[in-house]
């Protein structure tokens, strides 16, 4: 069994800011710990320090039991890495080195077949056997059968880029969970997985006896799997020993305690300062008091040298104000609507104030449906119309705005769009501040993080005065706190909401569900349905 022990770790950014200071925590044997925090708080840096990629400036990381790391980019591998190379990279260092040596020897032998080459190759082979390479190959076979449904020999030269994001993630997870490493670091293991895939991941993580530290933004996954939560905030980290369900309470309590400690420290500090001043005056008149004055000065200096307790971390201030407005009773009406080639005709009526979750398989036409309602051109037959005073506002997945890439948020706000008046710089900055992206106001849109792009799009919805929100996977890139802020804003929104989502936690806040089935049927459901299989269509 393995554990990770982080003691007094400190890390400074190249520009001199202290990102992490005095980070202490221990992930005991068999624990399943979640690492949460805002984007940019230092989660990935902390993972890199634990993985040994970065040397901390101070402090140390102790760990036993071998470490397996799944990096964030897995799922979006687009280079020419093949399955074999990928599995080798996920193996323990000894296996990796033996494999490199064997590859090098094989290549050398292909070029010059001499006695030296042959002996090197023979040594490499026996070393491969010694480090457990043959056993590893047996494991890889089980892994590829489990993840891709085919034996290792059939797919080892297959390029990783021909696998879907979900398949890449599953391959990595199977390899790590079945591998010999006792401690696993998983950076967003649930990205690119659909809901059945996420459920599978949850079961696997609950089953494993390994020690797991994972980063995730999926609240359902956090709630089901994590038995403790490590939070990176305010330049340090703290551990909540319970699950995610009681996490919010614990976090609020901790913040209050920190604020209380700080208040007491400030009071005590003020008292000492006052005392020093009084004694100073008295010392001027009476030499007897001079000693007491000096003693009190020393005491104050020591008190100040010990420093104040850590500040309460600044609250992430994302205040979304989606106002909306009263519209006709029927907000959306569709009769025998069919998006060409995507589904069978269906009828639907959405009422003012409804919260409708649009669910279903990938490729079933959910996003197209939303785009149609947003007024974009989507080939269809049948009728649809919006009710009186219904103004649609569309939130697309973040990569859907190529025309924004080179522009800055301030610029985009200033110019406005048809249906959204431009605003002056002052108002633009105020709005950006409310969404926690004021510092990025002059950055190009494409350099914003996924979460920042998402928040900016919600801000545009606010400014456009929409009364019907059409949201396509709005929580996908939002960290936990921003997602909650969005939910709150939607709760207070006066109007109608249609949202496509795979986020099970988010889906709970809806009251109706429109499910796009894999067989082309569109039906209503009172409960969320997540296990529609992928649509198979001849390509």
Shortest distance, position 117 Cβ to other proteins, whole Å:
9
The DSSP annotation for 179-231 comes to SS-SEEEEESTTTT--HHHHHHHHHHHHH--SEEEEE---HHHHHHH-SEEEE
Rule CB under 8 A: choose which of 130, 267, 288, 519 binds other proteins. 130
Shortest distance, position 89 Cβ to other proteins, whole Å:
23
Kindly state whether residue 134 participates in binding other proteins, applying the rule CB under 8 A.
yes
* Site mask for other proteins (CB under 8 A), range 105-124, x = bound: --------xxx--xx-xx--
Shortest distance, position 509 Cβ to other proteins, whole Å:
57
Distance (Å, whole) CA 313 – CA 10: 17
Half-sphere exposure of 284 (CA within 13 A, CB side): 5
Shortest distance, position 98 Cβ to other proteins, whole Å:
12
526 near 513, Cβ under 8 Å? yes
Nearest to 364 by CA among 332, 328, 339: 339
Shortest distance, position 142 Cβ to other proteins, whole Å:
19
Nearest to 349 by CA among 366, 328, 363, 324: 328
Half-sphere exposure of 311 (CA within 13 A, CB side): 6
The count of residues in the chain is 539
Shortest distance, position 25 Cβ to other proteins, whole Å:
40
Sequence-distant (6+) residues with CB within 8 A of 167 are: 147, 148
What's 535's DSSP letter?
P
In the bound state with other proteins, the residue whose beta carbon lies nearer, of 130 and 256, is 130
In the bound state with other proteins, the residue whose beta carbon lies nearer, of 128 and 395, is 128
Cβ neighbours, 10 Å, residue 139: 19
In the bound state with other proteins, the residue whose beta carbon lies nearer, of 140 and 394, is 140
In the bound state with other proteins, the residue whose beta carbon lies nearer, of 134 and 157, is 134
Distance (Å, whole) CA 167 – CA 473: 21
In the bound state with other proteins, the residue whose beta carbon lies nearer, of 125 and 258, is 125
Segment holding 323, helix H or strand E: none
168 near 77, Cβ under 8 Å? yes
What does the H/E/C string look like for 426-485?
A: HHHHHHHHHCCCHHHCCCCHHHCCHHHHHHHHHHHHHHHCCCEEEEECCCCCCCHHHHHH
Shortest distance, position 178 Cβ to other proteins, whole Å:
20
User: At CA 18, angle to CA 15 and CA 19, rounded to 5?
Assistant: 100
In the bound state with other proteins, the residue whose beta carbon lies nearer, of 125 and 239, is 125
Strands 468-472 and 392-395: parallel
What is the phi/psi pair of residue 369, to 5°?
Answer: -60, -45
In the bound state with other proteins, the residue whose beta carbon lies nearer, of 117 and 363, is 117
Nearest to 169 by CA among 187, 145, 151: 187
In the bound state with other proteins, the residue whose beta carbon lies nearer, of 126 and 447, is 126
In the bound state with other proteins, the residue whose beta carbon lies nearer, of 104 and 119, is 119
Shortest distance, position 118 Cβ to other proteins, whole Å:
5
Q: What tokens does 522 get?
A: 């569109």
Count of chain residues binding other proteins (CB under 8 A): 13
Per CB under 8 A, contacts with other proteins among 169-188 are none
Kindly state whether residue 378 participates in binding other proteins, applying the rule CB under 8 A.
no
Shortest distance, position 121 Cβ to other proteins, whole Å:
7
In the bound state with other proteins, the residue whose beta carbon lies nearer, of 13 and 119, is 119
In the bound state with other proteins, the residue whose beta carbon lies nearer, of 137 and 159, is 137
Rule CB under 8 A: choose which of 28, 60, 73, 126 binds other proteins. 126
In the bound state with other proteins, the residue whose beta carbon lies nearer, of 102 and 215, is 102
Rule CB under 8 A: choose which of 86, 128, 346, 445 binds other proteins. 128
Cβ neighbours, 10 Å, residue 35: 26
Nearest to 47 by CA among 237, 309, 329: 237
Rule CB under 8 A: choose which of 19, 77, 125, 300 binds other proteins. 125
Shortest distance, position 127 Cβ to other proteins, whole Å:
10
Return the SS3 of 265: helix
Shortest distance, position 112 Cβ to other proteins, whole Å:
11
Query: Could you identify the residue written with the tokens 């993985």?
Result: 51
Distance (Å, whole) CA 434 – CA 142: 51
Kindly state whether residue 153 participates in binding other proteins, applying the rule CB under 8 A.
no
Shortest distance, position 163 Cβ to other proteins, whole Å:
30
Shortest distance, position 132 Cβ to other proteins, whole Å:
9
Cβ neighbours, 10 Å, residue 75: 23
In the bound state with other proteins, the residue whose beta carbon lies nearer, of 113 and 494, is 113
What is the phi/psi pair of residue 21, to 5°?
Answer: -145, 135
Residues that bind other proteins (CB under 8 A): 113-115, 118-119, 121-122, 125-126, 128-130, 134
């Amino acid at each position: 069994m393995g554990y990770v022990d982080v003691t007094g770790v400190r890390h400074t950014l190249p520009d001199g800011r202290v990102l992490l200071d005095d980070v202490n925590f221990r992930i005991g044997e068999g624990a399943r710990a979640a690492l949460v925090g805002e984007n940019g708080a230092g989660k990935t840096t902390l993972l890199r320090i634990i993985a040994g990629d970065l040397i901390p400036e101070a402090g140390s990381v102790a760990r036993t039991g071998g470490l397996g790391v799944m990096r964030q980019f897995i799922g979006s591998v687009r280079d020419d890495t093949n399955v074999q190379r990928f599995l080798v990279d996920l193996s323990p260092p000894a296996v990796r080195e033996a494999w490199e040596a064997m590859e090098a020897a094989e290549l050398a032998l292909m070029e010059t077949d001499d006695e030296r080459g042959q002996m090197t190759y023979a040594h490499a082979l026996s070393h491969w056997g010694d480090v457990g390479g043959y056993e590893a190959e047996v494991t890889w076979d089980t892994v590829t059968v489990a993840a891709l449904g085919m034996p290792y020999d059939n797919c080892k030269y297959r390029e990783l880029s021909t696998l879907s994001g979900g398949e890449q993630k599953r391959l990595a997870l199977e390899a790590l969970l079945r591998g010999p490493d006792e401690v696993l670091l998983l950076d967003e293991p649930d990205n690119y997985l659909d809901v059945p895939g996420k459920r599978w991941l949850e079961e696997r993580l609950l089953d494993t006896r390994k020690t797991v530290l994972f980063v995730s933004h999926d609240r359902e996954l956090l709630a089901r799997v994590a038995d403790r939560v490590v939070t990176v905030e305010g330049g340090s980290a703290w551990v909540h020993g319970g699950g995610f369900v009681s996490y919010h309470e614990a976090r609020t309590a901790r913040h209050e305690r920190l604020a209380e400690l700080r208040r007491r420290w400030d009071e005590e500090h003020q008292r000492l300062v006052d005392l020093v001043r009084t004694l100073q005056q008295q010392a001027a008149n009476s030499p007897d008091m001079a000693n007491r004055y000096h003693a009190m000065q020393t005491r104050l200096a020591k008190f100040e040298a010990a420093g104040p307790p850590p500040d309460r971390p600044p609250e992430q201030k994302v205040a979304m104000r989606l106002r909306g407005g009263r519209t006709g009773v029927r907000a959306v009406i569709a009769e025998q609507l069919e998006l060409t080639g995507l589904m069978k005709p269906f009828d639907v009526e959405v009422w003012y104030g409804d919260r409708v979750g649009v669910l279903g398989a990938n490729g079933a036409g959910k996003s197209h449906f939303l785009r149609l309602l947003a007024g974009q051109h989507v080939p269809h037959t049948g009728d649809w119309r919006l009710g009186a005073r219904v103004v649609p506002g569309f939130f697309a997945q973040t990569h859907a705005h190529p025309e924004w890439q080179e522009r800055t948020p301030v610029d985009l706000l200033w110019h406005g769009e048809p249906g959204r008046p431009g605003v002056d710089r002052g108002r633009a900055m105020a709005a950006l501040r409310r969404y926690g992206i004021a510092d990025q106001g002059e950055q190009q849109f494409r350099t914003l993080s996924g979460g920042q792009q998402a928040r900016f799009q919600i801000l545009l919805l606010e400014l456009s005065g929409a009364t019907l929100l059409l949201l396509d996977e709005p929580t996908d890139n939002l960290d936990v706190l921003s997602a909650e802020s969005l939910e709150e804003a939607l709760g207070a929104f006066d109007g109608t909401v249609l949202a496509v989502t795979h986020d099970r936690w988010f889906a709970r806040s809806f009251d109706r569900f429109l499910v796009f089935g894999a067989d082309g049927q569109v039906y209503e459901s009172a409960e969320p349905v997540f296990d529609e299989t992928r649509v198979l269509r001849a390509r």
